[in-house]
Amino acid sequence: MLDSTLGELAGFVVSQFLLFYMAHFLIWRFISVGKKGVFLISFIALLTFTILSFLGIWHGWLGSSADLWLAGPGFFLLVMLYLHFYTAIDRSVSLRLLGELVRRHPPQLNFSELQQVYASEEMVASRLQLLVQKGFLTQEGSQGFYYCSAKGRILARITFCLQALYGIKEAG
Amino acid sequence: MYTSVISSPALGSLLAICCFPLLILLHSWGFRLKKPESKGLLALLAASIFYISCIYFLLVKILLTSHPVHLGGGFLSALLLIFGYMELYSMILRGFSLQLLSSLYRSPGLNFTQILASYAGGRGIDWLWEKRLRDLQKLRLLERHSTALSAQTPRGVWAGRLANYYKKLFYMGKGG
């Protein structure tokens, strides 16, 4: 059933991942910050996998289509690990704070300086803007009141259900 | 029908998907037993080991196959699902955007100042800062003094540098 050796399959998976990473790197240089996100990365990964798997079978780099049942989970596992890394760099409040600290020599900030470089208001404003942009929130009225959209309400309900499942009381 | 499923190269991956609810149930049960956050990852690790063991047991002892496509596909699919689940779990536990959304679902029609005050069930945005700083201190990524914060530990400096470098390389903006 396994028509390629494990070494060949590992090589194929690593090559797929490297090509995905190069495509991601190139695309990220040309699109705006607002368009960058995990959904686009996932789409690039899926596209890379589909094209290369097709070429792999067609050109004989893979022994047979059955080998894809080993190569597929391997490739998507690497993509998933990368997504963890990417999300942490892009969204983590803690990493942003550490990033601001190491820009200084010595790497130190007092609380008023911290408020200047990474204010709580900025942190919340950027997330609200992102949620409005992605259609989870709407902003109405002259004072800018925020409301959940239908999509936002569904996501909030799912969050409540999952938090109830784990008994989480202090999320955030 | 039964034979064709057993001989299918997708068997390992299918088993990993079918057994996945077991991981969620075990983890949520373990999470409820222990104090949240501090033991959540430990409960997930235990649930993951049990989940992978179940897949191995079903493949080798029940379905009597130790074929590399079945075993490898099963383990890799299981790991893929575990890491995907970890991302979801981390979003539920620490997701800042999800918490903002939840606050606005509970109290619709808040303006910016009210959102700052009502974050996380009325704990406010300062609570989030306090929580993040406490976690960074625990991980020894940051030192907290009476009037300042510093990243004096090598791992704190490297984590900050890596984040800055990667954001610059991929034109990701400030992040956070």
A147 pLDDT higher than 70 = yes
- Which residue from B31, B105, B132 is facing A156, i.e. has the nearest CB? B105
**For chain A, which residues make up each domain, given as ranges?**
6-91, 134-172
Contact B113, A117 (CB under 8 A): no
- Residues of chain A with pLDDT > 70, as a percent, come to 97
Q: What is the ipTM of this complex?
A: 0.85
Which of A153, A157, A166, A168 should be substituted to probe chain B, the one whose Cβ sees the most B Cβ atoms within 10 Å? A166
Which range (A26-30, A39-43, A50-54, B63-67) has the least confidence? B63-67
Q: Closest residue of B to A2, CA-based?
A: B69
Looking at CA atoms only, how far is residue B8 from chain A in angstroms? 8
* Consecutive H or E run containing A105: none
Contact A89 B101 (CB under 8 A): no
B4 pLDDT higher than 60 = no
Question: What is the tens place of the pLDDT at every residue in A80-136?
Answer: 999 999 999 998 888 998 998 998 888 888 888 888 888 888 888 888 988 998 899
A3 pLDDT higher than 80 = no
A69 touches chain B (CB under 8 A): yes
Q: Note the helical H segments in A62-143.
A: 68-91, 93-102, 111-117, 120-133
* Closest-CA residue to B51 (of B70, B35, B74): B74
Residue of higher predicted confidence among B48 and B131: B48
Q: How many CA atoms lie within 13 A of B61 on its CB side?
A: 6
Structure token pair of residue B24 = 């969620």
A109 φ/ψ sector (left φ>0, alpha ψ -120 to 50, else beta): beta
Compute the distance between CA of residue A123 and CA of residue A164 in angstroms, rounded to an integer: 27
Question: What is the tens place of the pLDDT at every residue in B56-68?
Answer: 999 988 888 888 8
Looking at CA atoms only, how far is residue B51 from chain A in angstroms? 17
Residue B1 pLDDT level (bands cut at 50, 70, 90): very low
- Which residue from A70, A84, A172 is facing B73, i.e. has the nearest CB? A70
CA–centroid distance for A142 within its chain? 34
Specify the amino acid at residue A47.
L
- Which residue from A94, A102, A166 is facing B32, i.e. has the nearest CB? A166
